[in-house]
Amino acid sequence: MPERETWTSRIGFIFAAVGSAVGLGNIWSFPFQTGANGGAAFLVVYLLAVLLIGFPTMLGEFVIGRESKRNPVGAFAELGHGNWSAAGGLGVVTTVVTLAFYSVVGGWVLSYIVGSATGAYFGDAGAFFGSVSAGQTAVLTHAAFMAITIGVVAAGIEEGIERATKFMIPAIIVLLVALGIWGSTLDGAAAGYEYYLSPDFGVLASNFASIVPSAVGQAFFTLSLGFSVMVVYASYLGSDDSLPADGGAIVVINTLVALLAGFVVFPLLFSIGAEPGTGGVGAAFVGLASAFGEIPGGEIIGVLFFVVLLFAALSSSISLLETPTSYIVETYDFDRRRVAIALGAGIFAFGVPTALNTNTLGWYNDVVFNLLLPIVVLLFAIFVGWVNADDSYAEVGRGSSLGDTFSTVWLWWVRIVIPVAVIFTLVLGVQDLLIKGGVLDAAIILG
């Protein structure tokens, strides 16, 4: 077996993990979900979900990864509980499915960078979206996005992922801050902030049963939890790092980037009088593109915005490909380059139907957010909190200066609070799916 790679520095790990966390979820979905679900009222639920459920769950994934120093399937056997491997395996399957969809949307972003520079969508943003989101162009850009992802993962942990994210994360933050400042000068800024930041608890109250599972699902997705991605990234860590400190930094940066994205998106939309939070998957692209088409200097601002989105998407997609790659490389001792190429090609093929018809994206959203992520998180919580309890307790405190009280509270939190919260959202999420599928009548359940 070749020697296992590790991050060269603590900051390398943090950038890589932030890269995984900051993605389409932060910049594309988050502002629009917030808009659709009552603005600041949704924000409150989402922030609570990130803090109370996301953060402790992230530490749980870190614990499995760092203690075992193995891929998410091998990790369980390494820790002496091989019969739990399926939990990690389910996470790996989720990364494969997710990457297929993610790469299609990543391809759209490539089209929008070109479209901004050439002004191709300035006349008719809706028609442009239609022409690049499904069909031949979408297949080609999906291929291009996947090829870049493969290139980074094939180059390895240090030369590939660490190097790419060390460049992309600072670029994302600097550009978003600049765009946010520019956004504050737009005519629509005040109305945009108002919409974004003033809570409408009425919307929250009347949609509680669908908002809670989507806020929790979004919290898992945005922090890349329930995919075993964080198990993989933590498996390349040394033992002297503080997991709570690093996890805290990752959660805070990820949240700030999402909030910042709202400060860019809402002033833009309101400056052209667009109504946020309506329409399907394309609404964000069409709405933003219309805005870039109307404001002075829209070409430049558009390119910058979509470059930010591209970096965010790429730094996430590499973690999605790294996860199954690490599993196959370690289990079968195959060459990393070949595995990354073969897996990437297979996942590309799996994504082609979505590149031809975007309807499958809604299906993906429903199944992964409402079902797969909570199930994997639940299994991880039971494993970390009960099955592997003593080791988990020791591992979370290793390298940390927070002391035993933190470890104890965390362990009990993972034992009780996370499973209860996740089961609660699972029940709501499944109900939501059944209602959407027409199996249940919403009126009966919701009264």
* Angle value at C-alpha 214, between 379 and 286, nearest 5 degrees: 130
Distance of CA 306 to the CA centre of its chain: 17
Q: Does 262 bind ligand PHE (CB under 6 A)?
A: no
Site for ligand PHE in 369-408 (CB under 6 A): none
Q: Does 321 bind ligand PHE (CB under 6 A)?
A: no
Q: Does 316 bind ligand PHE (CB under 6 A)?
A: yes
Q: How far is the CB of 29 from ligand PHE (least distance, A)?
A: 7
Q: Does 217 bind ligand PHE (CB under 6 A)?
A: no
- From 30, 32, 112, 101, select the one nearest 357 (Cα to Cα): 101
Measured from the Cβ of residue 384, the count of other Cβ atoms closer than 10 Å reads 29
Q: How far is the CB of 27 from ligand PHE (least distance, A)?
A: 8
Q: Does 329 bind ligand PHE (CB under 6 A)?
A: no
User: In the stretch 267-306, what mask flags binding to ligand PHE with x, by CB under 6 A?
Assistant: ----------------------------------------
Question: Do 7 and 16 touch, CB atoms closer than 8 A?
Answer: yes
Q: How far is the CB of 320 from ligand PHE (least distance, A)?
A: 5
Stretch that binds ligand PHE, among 186-194, 285-293, 315-323, 360-368 (CB under 6 A): 315-323
Stretch that binds ligand PHE, among 52-60, 139-147, 199-207, 314-322 (CB under 6 A): 314-322
Burial profile 74-84: b = 16 or more Cβ within 10 angstroms, e = fewer: bbbeebeeeeb
DSSP 248-288: HHHHHHHHHHHHHHHHHHHHHHHHTT--TT-SSTTHHHHHH
Q: Which helix (H) or strand (E) holds 209?
A: helix 208-222
Stretch that binds ligand PHE, among 42-50, 84-92, 290-298, 312-320 (CB under 6 A): 312-320
Written as one letter, the residue type at 73 is V
State which of residues 103, 116, 214, 222 lies at the interface with ligand PHE (CB under 6 A): 222
Q: Does 320 bind ligand PHE (CB under 6 A)?
A: yes
Q: How far is the CB of 442 from ligand PHE (least distance, A)?
A: 29
**Residue nearer to ligand PHE on the CB measure, 73 or 229:** 229
Question: What long-range pairs does 378-382 form, CB within 8 A, spacing at least 24?
Answer: 378/418, 378/419, 378/422, 378/423, 378/426, 379/84, 379/87, 379/90, 380/57, 380/60, 380/61, 380/64, 380/87, 380/91, 380/226, 380/228, 381/57, 381/60, 381/414, 381/415, 381/418, 381/419, 381/422, 382/419
| Total length of the chain | 447
DSSP 46-97: HHHIIIIIIHHHHHHHHHHHHHH-S-TTHHHHHTT-GGGHHHHHHHHHHHHH
State phi, psi for 224 to the nearest 5 degrees: 55, 40
Q: Does 26 bind ligand PHE (CB under 6 A)?
A: yes
Q: Does 235 bind ligand PHE (CB under 6 A)?
A: no
Q: Does 229 bind ligand PHE (CB under 6 A)?
A: yes
State which of residues 227, 270, 306, 410 lies at the interface with ligand PHE (CB under 6 A): 227
Q: Does 145 bind ligand PHE (CB under 6 A)?
A: no
Q: Does 204 bind ligand PHE (CB under 6 A)?
A: no
3-state secondary structure of 216: helix
State which of residues 37, 165, 224, 370 lies at the interface with ligand PHE (CB under 6 A): 224
**Residue nearer to ligand PHE on the CB measure, 251 or 411:** 251
Q: How far is the CB of 26 from ligand PHE (least distance, A)?
A: 5
Q: Does 358 bind ligand PHE (CB under 6 A)?
A: no
Q: Where do contacts with ligand PHE occur on this chain (CB under 6 A)?
A: 20-21, 23-26, 221-222, 224, 227, 229, 316, 319-320
